[in-house]
């Protein structure tokens, strides 16, 4: 698993900053997903982030991970999120943030596929270094909006390199 994490961080940092516009960034990220009923696994994702102003942005994000659950069944979890993100300003080196919004959770194994509408909330800190962001994130994925107590808390250390082109 360590080799996968290191490879994912390498890919993130090889991808340098490009921007579709001043307000739109497209990037990739990676972290560690810890399900409530299985082994931790590497989660990879892509995102598009649209800045409304310097503190508020909208982010569309798609992630995926494969892990073995407590019944020894291999599961693939793919959350697709639409998040509102608020970044607190006024700090020189770190930028704390909060985010939240709906997610479409897709859980697939060899026997079935389940799709549910859920919610995601998170907070974290990031350090912007040129075209890169490095940070720590704590997120809660509630798989089903009808039962918000069923979900997973994830702790992610992530590195993000922004990929974009000026238009």
Ranges of each domain in the chain: 2-163
pLDDT at 119: 92
Q: For residue 23, give the nearest of 49, 47, 51 by alpha carbon.
A: 51
d(Cα 60, Cα 46) in Å, to the nearest integer? 9
Provide the CA 17 distance to its chain's centre, in angstroms.
Answer: 18
pLDDT at 146: 83
pLDDT at 16: 36
- CB-side neighbour CA atoms (13 Å) of 10: 6
Tens of pLDDT, residue by residue, the chain (167 residues): 555 555 555 555 444 344 445 677 777 777 888 887 778 888 888 888 788 888 898 999 999 999 998 888 999 999 999 999 999 986 777 889 999 999 999 999 989 999 999 999 999 888 877 666 677 778 888 888 887 777 776 666 665 555 443 33
pLDDT at 101: 95
> Is residue 45 classed as helix, strand or coil in its secondary structure?
strand
pLDDT at 11: 52
CATH for 2-163 (3.40.640.10, 3.40.30.10, 2.40.160.20, 3.10.310.30) = 2.40.160.20
Q: Is there a contact between 32 and 155 (Cβ–Cβ < 8 Å)?
A: yes
- CB-side neighbour CA atoms (13 Å) of 6: 3
pLDDT at 4: 55
d(Cα 35, Cα 37) in Å, to the nearest integer? 5
pLDDT at 145: 83
């Amino acid at each position: 698993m360590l080799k996968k994490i290191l490879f994912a961080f390498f890919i993130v940092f090889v991808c340098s900053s490009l921007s579709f516009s001043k307000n739109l960034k497209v990037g990739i990220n990676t972290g560690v997903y810890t399900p409530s009923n299985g082994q931790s696994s590497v989660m990879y994702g892509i995102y598009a982030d649209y800045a409304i102003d310097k503190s508020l942005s909208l982010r569309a994000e798609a992630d995926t991970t494969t892990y073995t659950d407590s019944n020894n069944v291999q599961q693939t979890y793919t959350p697709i999120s639409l998040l509102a993100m608020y970044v607190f300003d006024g700090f020189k080196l770190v930028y704390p943030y909060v985010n939240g919004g709906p997610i479409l959770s897709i859980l697939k194994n060899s026997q079935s596929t389940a799709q549910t509408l859920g919610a995601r909330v998170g907070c974290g800190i990031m350090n912007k270094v040129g075209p890169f962001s490095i940070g720590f994130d704590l997120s809660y994925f509630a798989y089903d909006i009808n039962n918000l107590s069923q979900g997973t808390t994830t702790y992610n250390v992530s590195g993000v390199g922004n990929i974009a082109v000026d238009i």
